[in-house]
Amino acid sequence: MTVKPFCRKCLIDSLDEDEFIRSLKNYISDYPKDKRCCELEYKKRIEVCKSCEHLSMGMCSLCGCYVELRALKINTFCPDITDKWNE
């Protein structure tokens, strides 16, 4: 099987869904270690997102980010006015 290289300039509309999800997961797993928060903090953030009313299809409806990517980054925050990650 020939695997088409992921086009970073393509819109979601032109991507195969499996290919898009796979490339997103690869992007998350390859994200630089020096820019990641610690595993404990990441898990805590994800647990908060999982019970949040703004989570929809893996995305935060307030900021439009994929929460598994947003929560991974050191210098980021929950966009809710109360910052649910730090309540």
- Tell me: does residue 52 bind ligand SF4 (CB under 6 A): yes
What is the C-alpha separation between 34 and 3, in angstroms, rounded?
Answer: 30
Smallest separation (angstroms) from ligand SF4 to the CB of 22? 23
Residue 49 binds to ligand SF4 (criterion: CB under 6 A): yes
Q: List, in sequence order, every residue forming a beta bridge with 60; answer none if it has no partner.
A: 55
- Applying CB under 6 A, which part among 2-10, 25-33, 34-42, 72-80 lies near ligand SF4? 72-80
Distance from the first to the final alpha carbon of the chain: 48
Residue with tokens 């032109």: 14
Name the residues that contact ligand SF4, by CB under 6 A.
48-49, 52, 54-55, 60, 62, 67, 78-80, 84
